Amino acid sequence: MSYRAPVKDMLFCMQELAGLDEVAAMPGFEDANMETAQAVLDECAKFNEEVIAPLNRAGDENPSSWKDGVVTTTPGFKDAFKQFGEAGWQGLQHPVEFGGQGLPKTIGAACIEMLNSANLSFALCPLLTDGAIEALLTAGTPEQQQIYIPKMISGAWTGTMNLTEPQAGSDLALVRTRAEPQPDGSYKLYGTKIFITYGEHDMAENIVHLVLARVTGAPEGVKGISLFIVPKFLVNADGSIGERNDVQCVSIEHKLGIKASPTAVLQFGDAGGAVGQLIGEENRGLEYMFIMMNAARYAVGMQGIAVAERAYQQAVAYARDRVQSRPVDGSVAGSATIIHHPDVRRMLMTMRAYTEGCRAMAIAAAAAFDAAHRHPDAEVRKRNQTFYEFMVPLVKGYSTEMSIEVASLGVQVHGGMGFIEETGAAQHYRDARILTIYEGTTAIQANDLVGRKTARDGGTVAKAIASQIEKTEAELGKRDSDAARAMLKRLSAARQAFVDVVDFIAAQSKADPNAAFAGSVPYLMLAGNLVAGWQMARALLVAEQQLEQGQGDAEFLRAKVATSRFYADHLLSKAPATRDAIVEGANSVTALALEAY
């Protein structure tokens, strides 16, 4: 089934929920208006539909391969990546002075979604390169920036993130890769890194590895970790490529999904030491790496939305085509296509509502990111930064967890054919399964939400968001429609459930940490559900008002009202039960003795 980018919904989210006009009024974003957004998204849709999406199935059936240290990507990937770089898509959000286009994240987020819907495996290479660029923009020297960033923006070089080691997964205090200072100011690195996405491939002439390592004599734990640039090929003073560095790909992993993306085991320093340059200051590597991590976490959330959209489109196409059984209401005399059956429509609406809700949440968060970086008022910047930081674990955690449910429903809509690889529904399910794991598992996102984003300030930011939601409830209360009344009822109950949980976590985080963290993932899911539902409520208000005024695409707007109403009735309605599980069920999580498992 071919992919069609949901440009109309993306533009609606940008204009009506994210306030793109306000973003375009900020310094440096003057050209980023709706006309620009429309033009960029139309071109992005065309490129991804025609060039990238057709390679998705091929990548699953004929994944990257490794032989004698060389990785060969799926046929077609190399040429597609060349076109991707030449068309300027890698530089969409990066600074103009390095060859980028300098567009806001509000527009870039939609393009990220399209790329990942088209081909999740392919999109991982640009995703990691974006993170490497961000880290260098933040902590690299001017010389490092000039050497590496333009090459990565052009697509000539790509970037990686090297954190994980065989003994050090999420606990980076256990990192053992060592860096030895050299007389010329460089370092030699020795160690093994695993799970390195696009750590070796044939799509670019150089790979810029950003590597966490411990300088000889550094403090133990995370305080002694530094960050280094370790390119596959050394770079000469004039920026040209020099000799091969001492970093080798010793194998790639065989995986459940995202098979076309080579996940490498890299060995540094087998033949005398891999030459690296320090980024920033020694022992501040984790701080710099988290710049990459936060960029990547948001992008992985977009991957969840992307694969959900692709699974939804495929399920709808199948449901419109597959004939099975007579409709229960007798609307068709004989057997009909399965889209006539209420339960199939329930599944499709669940897929649609989840996807649209998370898209709206993510694009609204992107606008906050833009305001945090470009708004002329310092107080507004600070407020938006705080909001965006709260949103990152929701975009990453909620959007990826929902993508597994949506992709699973996609298989279910296909019935037995969903379990058969030839339909392609199973690939979306397999691909989605990694999204809740890499770049920080859902539990890690939830721990961040509980510890740093809620307990630390006693729930102040969380309650400020709840106050904003109350304002939307007030607007819903002014409307005389069944959809608005249903949304008001569910949104109000979900907000109250959220506030109850915030109070519980703030009270228990020190008094009984196990109780607070026992419900961390349910709290993240409740928060994500609420914020996505809030955005759907805002969308409902806009859609109803535009319909009354005879504005916009009536068919699109009626569908938005119906989808928002479904979100309220079927998804937001879960919030009070989640609240009860967290607040009243904390003790039962740890009640069973360890030896009884």
Total count of residues recorded for the chain: 597
Q: How many CA atoms lie within 13 A of 585 on its CB side?
A: 12
The neighbouring-strand residues paired with 212 are 227
Q: What is the CA radius of gyration of the chain?
A: 24
Percent of the chain with pLDDT over 70: 100
Residue with the bigger pLDDT between 170 and 517: it is: 517
| pLDDT computed for residue 170 by the predictor | 83
Concatenate the DSSP letters of all residues of 526-570 into one string.
HHHHHHHHHHHHHHHHHHHHHHHTT-S-HHHHHHHHHHHHHIIII
| pLDDT computed for residue 294 by the predictor | 87
pLDDT bin (cut points 50, 70, 90) of residue 171 is: confident
For the chain, the distance separating the N- and C-terminal CA atoms, rounded to the nearest angstrom, is: 45
The enclosing H or E element of 514 equals helix 513-518
The whole-angstrom separation of Cα 352 and Cα 406 is 9
Q: Which is nearest to 195 in space by CA: 439, 433, 431? A: 439
Structure tokens at 523: 């709290």
| pLDDT computed for residue 437 by the predictor | 97
The whole-angstrom separation of Cα 144 and Cα 106 is 28
pLDDT bin (cut points 50, 70, 90) of residue 291 is: confident
Q: Which is nearest to 390 in space by CA: 471, 451, 475, 318? A: 451
**218: Cβ–Cβ under 8 A, 6 or more apart, which residues?**
224, 225, 226, 282, 283
The whole-angstrom separation of Cα 321 and Cα 306 is 23
Please give the mean pLDDT across all residues of the chain. Answer: 97
- CA distance readout (Å), 454 to 137, 228, 396, 572: 29, 33, 17, 21
Look up residue 481 and give its DSSP letter: S
Catalytic residues: 439
Question: What are 149-166's pLDDT values in tens digits?
Answer: 999 999 999 999 999 999
Q: Which is nearest to 454 in space by CA: 409, 416, 498? A: 498
| pLDDT computed for residue 45 by the predictor | 98
Q: What is the mean pLDDT of residues 402-424?
A: 97
| pLDDT computed for residue 285 by the predictor | 95
Q: Which is nearest to 60 in space by CA: 440, 579, 436, 424? A: 424
Domains and CATH numbers, the chain: 7-65+72-154 (1.10.540.10), 157-283 (2.40.110.20), 449-588 (no CATH)
